[in-house]
Structure 1
Amino acid sequence: MSQIDIRHEHGKTPEQARVAIEEAAAKLSERFGMRSQWQGDTLQFNGSGVDGAIQLVPGAVRVTATLGFLLSAMKGMVEAEIRRVLADKLG
């Protein structure tokens, strides 16, 4: 199993960041078939071959994920897509 750990800094307010993360999660859900749910300031997500979280921290978000066997082979592509969506939604 492969691990992903991304920290993405931004200049948004906590409320703006939460909306942006919800939009990013919706986009990633379309791409990877994930489900998500907020627990405090952390958006927990899971799907076929992936489990993880997007944590809101002051001035940044932190994405952690564990990829199953099949997605592990595509870790680079998955990580690049997460980074692209974060950059698009958070700047």
Structure 2
Amino acid sequence: MATIDITQSHRLTLDDAKAKAEELAKSMETKFGLSWKWAGNTINFEAPSGAAKGTKGEVAVTDKDVRVAIDLPFMLKMMKGTIEEKIKERLAQFA
């Protein structure tokens, strides 16, 4: 598996950062068929089917930063760089 781990600092309130993280999760749900749920200040997600099948990860939110950690299945390993860039673009919303 290929691993992606990106942290973005922010100046939002914890509630605002969590709201943006939830927007990100809903977007991933729509685009990639990921299922997700909150566990405290962390969104855990996975793709049980579809193009991203086997992808698992989390979006952890604190009052200072947002961390996205993803385990990509072998089939998506070659797209790791592209996926990282897309995540960085989305996390720029938090800055």
CA distance in 2, matches of 1:12, 1:51: 26
Q: Does 1:2 align with 2:2?
A: yes
SS of 2:11's equivalent in the other structure is coil
CA distance in 2, matches of 1:82, 1:46: 16
Q: Which of 64, 71, 77 is residue 72 of structure 1 equivalent to?
A: 77
Is 1:29 matched with 2:34?
no
Deviations 1:6-63 (A, max 9, x none): 0011110000001000011122223322111000111001111310001112310111
Residue 67 of structure 2 is aligned to residue 59 of structure 1: no
Structure 1 unmatched runs, 5+: none
What RMSD in Å do the two structures reach over aligned CA positions? 1.2
Structure 2 equivalent of residue 87 of structure 1: 92
Distance (whole Å) between structure 1 residues aligned to residue 16 and residue 62 of structure 2: 13
TM-score, with length taken from structure 2: 0.87
- State the Cα distance separating 1:79 from its structure 2 match: 1.0
| Percent identical residues | 34
Runs of 5+ unmatched residues, structure 2: 48-52
- Compare the two structures and name the one with the higher strand fraction: 1
In the superposition, the TM-score normalised over structure 1's length comes to 0.90
